[in-house]
Amino acid sequence: MAGKRRWGELSRGQRAAIVLAGTVELGLKVAALVDLYRREGSEVRGPKAAWVVAQAVNFFGPVAYFAFGRRSSFDR
């Protein structure tokens, strides 16, 4: 089993993949929080505060919000 590797020990491709994944995660999180802020409570499934807390779950929080948290015009 490989031990922990420092940033400098990673290949250029591995570092790029980590930066890309972090950028995508941050972008999703910001988009979800902005969308939550702009929506009325009636346009969100469940409490808005719970969805804000869910954003702390890396990658899955924002994806879950976009997949399940927003009400469509058909749900109303």
How many domains are contained in the chain?
Answer: 1
Q: What is the pLDDT of residue 58?
A: 87
pTM above 0.85, yes or no: no
Residue-level pLDDT, tens digit, the chain, 76 residues? 568 889 999 999 999 999 999 999 999 999 999 999 999 999 999 999 999 999 999 889 999 999 999 987 665 5
Question: 6 forms bridges with which residues in the sheet?
Answer: none
User: Residue 57 region, left (φ>0) first, then alpha (ψ -120 to 50), else beta?
Assistant: beta
Give the structural domain span for 13.
8-69
| Dihedral pair phi/psi, residue 70, rounded to 5° | -95, 135
Q: What is the pLDDT of residue 40?
A: 92
DSSP string, 45-76: SS-HHHHHHHTTSTTHHHHHIIIIIBPPTTT-
Q: What is the pLDDT of residue 72?
A: 72
In a domain, 38, yes or no: yes
In a domain, 49, yes or no: yes
